[in-house]
Every structure is written in C-alpha cells, then in structure tokens.
Amino acid sequence: MNQIHERIIDIGGTTARYLEAGAGDPVLFLHGASLGSSNDVWTPTLHDFAARGFRPIAPDLPGFGRTPTSDHSIAHRRSFVLSFMDALGLAEAHLVGHSQAGRIVVEIALEHPHRATSVTVLGTGSLLPPDPESKGGEGEEGTAAEPTLEQTRSLLESTLFHRELATDAAVAVRHRMSIGAPFAAFRARRDAPREKSGGLWRRLVEVRVPLLLLYGREDRGNAAVRAAQAKALFPQLDIRVLPDCKHLVQWDARDALADLGAAFMSRAAVARR
C-alpha cells in the first residue's frame, strides 16, 4: 500500500497541513464544510488513487483541521486552493470537491479552466436544481457547543449509508478535528452571512473541462430526484447516482469513486494532451 505523507507548507503566511501519496498526475481532493471535516476524510481515497498511478493530494482548507484562518468565506477557500497549487508548483491538477467544496472546484473551472485538468463533484447539493424542502446550504452540520465523542459519532453516522464505517478510530479523528480551533472556525462560519451560490448549477454546462458529478441515491435533500432533474434539463452532463450511498460518497462508494474517477481522469488527461 502506498504510504501517505503528512506535510506542512506556508501559504501566504498561513501554515497549511496536507496529505499526499503516490506519483503521477496530481489530483487535489477538497473536503466539505461539516464540523470535523478535514483532509483525513480522504485517507482511503488517497491510497486508492496512488495505487492507480496518480499523485493524490488533500489539504486542510482554511478553518479546518490544522490550517488556521481569520477569513471564513468560501471565496477565501477558493483563492487558497489556487495559492496552494502555486506553492506546490502545480500548473494544473484534477480537482475533486466533496459537498460544499464541489462549488469551489466548479467555480475554479469556470474562472480558471487552465488550472483544472478535470473536475469531479461529490454530493454537492447546490449544484442540483433547488430542493423546495431545503432549509440551508450543504455541508454545515454541527452542534451548538463543542461536541462530545458520541455526538461526533452520531453526526458522522448520519452522513453514511454504511454506518459501520464510522469506526472508533474514524470517530476519534473526527472528534479531534471538531474541538478547539476547528470548532471556533465552525461557529464563525455559522454566524457569518450565508453566501449564495447564485444558481451555479445552471452554469455547469459552461464548464469547458471534463466534468463528472456523483451523488448518493440515499443522500439528503432528495439528491437522487434532483440529479435526475438536472440530467433531464442538461442531458450532456455526466451525472451518476450511486446506490447504497449517502452524503459521504468517498466512504460509502469508495470502490465506485476509485474506478469511475480514475478512468474519467485518465481520459481527461489524454484529451488535455
């Protein structure tokens, strides 16, 4: 199994933590915005993509994990991604965004298409036609106070179809990333004015790099129904609904993501050349 390396890098005066493995075309994996989110959520995925000949890289985004910030906006996270790529000397990379980060990778592809070899979106509700029953944005679940270990377990299990994947070890990591500075950052994001996506889902057809969208059939917010609506409206989009899968697509559908994603990225890299 390919070894995962934990590294620290300076991004404009901010110390950022990231994980990487393997060698080959770089793939940037960006986590979502739930309380406790961090690059650790990608550990199994990093192994899978390294084994398929890629160089998977997963940063802690600003305000998450071990990357601090005083700017909790989505816009800052988007600019951070580009600065992070610059710091690593990556002119371009395959971009993968889970939940709220799906919006980030699509916006980068629209504004800076030369930086994205391909884009893969996992479970991003704002990139589907609106859900009339929705009462908030994707990926902002949390607790009013620092969560207990059991509250962390409950939150993590709620994102999974296969609840057994929320092992004691996984819950312990999630809990460490849910208290202290990460919890303070979560509260700051929660209390800030909500940033609207501005109907970004309607602009998916404007993305000029290969785009793959994966959703869990059992995900919240009627995701499967809305994915079918998006496909009917824009049949040229590559939208897949994965069975036995909720919001944490990279865990519930680990094998499907590795197989579909690696094949998709390989085709995109060949087309780019």
Helix (H, G, I), strand (E, B) or coil at 206: helix
The tens digit of pLDDT for each residue in 67-79 reads 999 999 999 999 9
Higher pLDDT, residue 200 or 137: 200
Has residue 160 got a pLDDT over 90?
Answer: yes
Mean pLDDT of 193-216: 93
pTM recorded for the entire structure: 0.96
pLDDT at 131: 83
CATH number at residue 238: 3.40.50.1820
CA–CA distance, 102 with 100 (Å, rounded to integer): 5
pLDDT at 101: 98
The tens digit of pLDDT for each residue in 79-121 reads 999 999 999 999 999 999 999 999 999 999 999 999 999 999 9
- Domain count within the chain: 1
Mean pLDDT of 258-267: 98
The tens digit of pLDDT for each residue in 37-52 reads 999 999 999 999 999 9
Q: Could you tell me which of 21, 41, 207, 188 has the C-alpha nearest to residue 122? A: 41
Domain residues for the domain of 84 are 5-272
Report whether 123 contacts 249 (CB < 8 A). yes
Non-local (6+) Cβ contacts of 4 within 8 A are 19, 20, 21, 43, 46, 47
pLDDT at 134: 62
249 burial (CB, 10 Å; 0-12 / 13-18 / 19+) is buried
Report whether 2 contacts 15 (CB < 8 A). no
Has residue 136 got a pLDDT over 50?
Answer: no
